[in-house]
Amino acid sequence: MNWNTWFRQIHRWLSIIFTLIVAAIFATLGLGKQPAQWVYFLPLLPLALLLLTGLYLFALPYATKWRGSTIGG
């Protein structure tokens, strides 16, 4: 597996983890229970990693296009 495939897989799994954490917080609130204050900070780590992997995946087509044009030109 190359780096791009790893980044895509990591990004997918991070999005699942992030969604489950947020859904669990909303479900807890829906049941009328107030979770501890630190629980609200749990989604921040996957969200930060999603930002980094998402930016990499966003820039990937532009980087390959840029590299392809300089090599061939």
pTM value? 0.81
Residue 43: the pLDDT is 97
Q: CA end-to-end span of the chain, whole Å?
A: 29
Judged against a pLDDT cut of 80, whether residue 28 lies above it is answered with yes
**Cα 28–16–51 angle (5° rounding)?**
105
Residue 67: the pLDDT is 74
Confidence of residue 70 (pLDDT cuts 50, 70, 90): low
Residue 63: the pLDDT is 82
Judged against a pLDDT cut of 90, whether residue 69 lies above it is answered with no
